[in-house]
Structure 1
Amino acid sequence: MNNFTYCNPTKLVFGRGVENEIGGHLARLPEAPKKVLIVYGGGSAVKSGVLDRVSASCLEAGIEYVVKGGVQPNPTIEFVRECIDTARAEAIEAVVAVGGGSVIDTAKTVAVGFAYEGDPWDFFTGAAAIESALPVATVLTIPAAGSEQSIRAVITNGDVKTGIGNDFVRPRVSCVNPELFFTLPQKQVSAGVIDMMSHIMERYFTNTSAVDYTSAQAEAALRVIMENGLKLLENHQDYDAWCQVGLAGSFAHNGYFGMGHQEDWACHAIEHALSGWRTDIIHGEGLAVVTPAWMRYVWSSNPERFVRFAKNVFDVPDQENDEATINLMIAKFSLFLQRMLLPTRLSELTNVEVPIDEVAALATARGPVGNLRKLSTEAVRSILTSAL
């Protein structure tokens, strides 16, 4: 196990009706903001009434608010700039995200860009360091990204989709009401399940030794997510199942499962290139295609790790050799993805021919990706080709 420091200061407020409490939690922050920018996506936040409830909670706590809607999936730096202009003009003191990962990541980028004199994209290219941020709070409406507790944000600029990671952007308070997930379409439910699983697996698949505690926790979380994800196929209003999925997804990306690990993140890098190439690709669906192909390519770098995963997550009994055990696990994993109505091939993900060379180059624009095995442009090309 590597040395590590773990600190997660996000206050998680979980359960029925907790969105009505957001104003009080904001008022009790050390900064005691008096005016906030509420960022949201489309009409669902309005139609469901959650935006009105959040706004009313702020007013009840003596906090003024300005709203800014229109965040799209794979959120853009152009929209972030618009939000920053609004925030500055209104002299806001905190940012509240009402939505899923795209909305939260937008809010985080607004928070770090508010006081920065340059272009907020500088943070994503490494041209500038994050030195401050407005407080961020969230009301989660789509469980998937785990951004409600994470230090990360991902933004798109043209065909480049990349992220930042900094403690300044970790939300101060996040309200998670599983009832808000009842009306999600199946496509979003399924994509969210594999997204949160991937956040765990990116940390699980490591060459770091002596990480048994976090490994066992990760294996349990993955089993719970899969079991309850299948329940949600049958009943989108299963509150108990949503509690399990919502809680596991929130912890999947807050750093807990990666304590002391060298993490991987190759699958995310490859998928970000795919959904940077075509912004209509849903992140979770892209991960469903990339992950099994990545497993087939890299397992030989650490067969012991993959055999443990096969046994403890998918109940695969010992086969004649490690390769057979791992191949059976990948087959069972792919079957689970198909049961969740997710694509597992590029031809199922998009009806447009994927420019393999272009996507591989995008994925490795900053150099090789991954740590379990360092993947060159050629390696990524091979993974994508195997997923056709």
Structure 2
Amino acid sequence: MIYPAARAIVVAGASAPVALLIGVIAPAYWVAGLAFLGFLVVLLILDAALGASPKDVAVTVGGLKSAAAGSEFSVEIALAFARAAPAACEVAIDSHYLLEAPDGLRTRVRIVNGRGEAAIRLIATRRGVARFEQLWVRWQGPLGLVWKQRVLAVADEIVIVPDVRSLRERSADYSHRDMLHGLTARMQIGEGAEFDSLADFQQGMDRRAIDWKQSARHRKLLAKEYRTERNNNVIIALDSGRTMCEPLAGLPKIDRAVSAALLTAFVALKDGDRVSLFGFDSHPRVSTKPVSGARSFALLQRVAGAVEYSDRETNYTLALATLTTGLQRRSLIVIFTDFADTISAELMLAAVGTLLKRHLVLFILFRDEELEGFAAAEPNAPEDVTRAVTAAALLRQRRLVVNRLKRLGVHVIEAAHDRAGPALVNAYLEVKQRNLL
């Protein structure tokens, strides 16, 4: 495709008043204006004929084929001209709703010895598959009067997966057994603990661990040592309803939840427990059977990546009733969710109450830093006061729901979006150490 550049349009537009002025002052020379326009057309044709033609350029698109949600990456573009390469050209790519381009989707490329390279910086905002259908390359002719443009079909795609970068950073620590159970394996007392052996009672040990009969027989204090029970069920439920799909620090809350869930699943699998994932909004959407072993993490990662964004209200009654169907043993149920007020949380509280009869329930809530900022901000205008009062009321209602959950016996974790994963892992390890299952 060849079309006039801005320079040609400006020259043609500027020549019109001059031609009109000549026609008024010297009507006999009115043909001079037509002659100038004809000369400009010749220059345009000459500029289009000189230099490289659109079919003389070859483009190669490279870069990552997959990226984590919330990460930054670049699409690398390489250009090669067969002949008469220009000094510079412009490259643009398709936009996609899963991606953001902080510097724009178009960039300028310098051409040296017929070749040039460019990188367009992108940020993955959501999970899914981002496809690039077309790529545009254009450059000006030697006279700068025309643009030569070529549109290429690239059919390239980037798979945006859940963010597991924190898992890679902490995998060496969490995979070490001493990091999971501490330096000693003593006094793991509680429901589900297994007796391991007797040991001499030492200062600092729990007095409830003393075996008085054996101590009387051996004439010294002996304490029972317990072995932590393994192969527990850990069910991670992800609410993907409307509230959880709202953005939080640039990413939907559900993506933050998926990252924290995968980190905890990795630790639980390494510790010998069985993990399953459950996704729901108005209906149950995805579910896995409990799996064990580190090799099963890839399956959980694929299932977590398939949790879709939803604009529906969450149906806790149906979801939690479906979740507990078939559970024959006491399990740790981790629920990632959010709520706006006490009214929307009533059904959630009723549904959670039925779970507590047999299972241990742990809620993960992201701190609403935006509301906290509005409530704490110094008011400078009447609308700031209104915003602060509304935010404080919403936070107060949120606190009421959290307190009701705690009174029911639910373990509640409130953490910032970037600390939710470690906070959940610490809570899981505490549950294991106290043998609450």
Scaled to the shorter chain, the TM-score interval is: under 0.3
TM-score (normalised: structure 1): 0.27
Higher share in helix: 1
Q: What TM-score does the superposition give when structure 2 sets the normalisation length?
A: 0.25
More strand by share: 2
1 or 2 for the larger relative contact order (CA 8 Å, sep ≥6)? 1
